[in-house]
Amino acid sequence: MLRMSVKNEEYLMIGDDVKIVFLGGGGGQTRIMIDAPKEINIVRSKAIEKRIQDPELLARMPKYYRQEEHPEKYKKKSKVIIVRNE
């Protein structure tokens, strides 16, 4: 899975014909605009989950959880220099 930060009005291209524009947001929501051919089915995860009646199938659905902005493994480690005055 790709994770990136984008600014308002930036966009992603998926293939040659799908464009996702990031419009900004606030209050825990992000607004996007998707420009894609009519043949491509675009469905929100909540709509899919509401339609699934089988609990086993619902449990197998992929779940994505928000991670902290900069996990520890990506933070710069400061260098420690030890100087001895003798």
pLDDT digits (tens, 9 = 90+) for 72-83: 666 666 665 666
Name the residue with tokens 């051919």.
Answer: 37
**Is this model's pTM higher than 0.85 or not?**
no
Q: Which residue has the higher pLDDT, 65 or 4?
A: 4
The CA distances from residue 10 to 4, 43, 64, in Å, are: 12, 22, 23
| pLDDT-derived band at 19, boundaries 50, 70, 90 | very high
Query: Hey, what are 69's tokens?
Result: 């902005």
CA angle (61, 10, 39) in 5-degree steps? 50
Average pLDDT over residues 61-84: 63
Beta 29-35 vs 11-14: how paired, if at all? unpaired
What is the model's pLDDT at position 69?
Answer: 60
CA angle (4, 10, 12) in 5-degree steps? 65
What is the model's pLDDT at position 31?
Answer: 92
Other beta carbons within 10 angstroms of residue 37's beta carbon come to 7
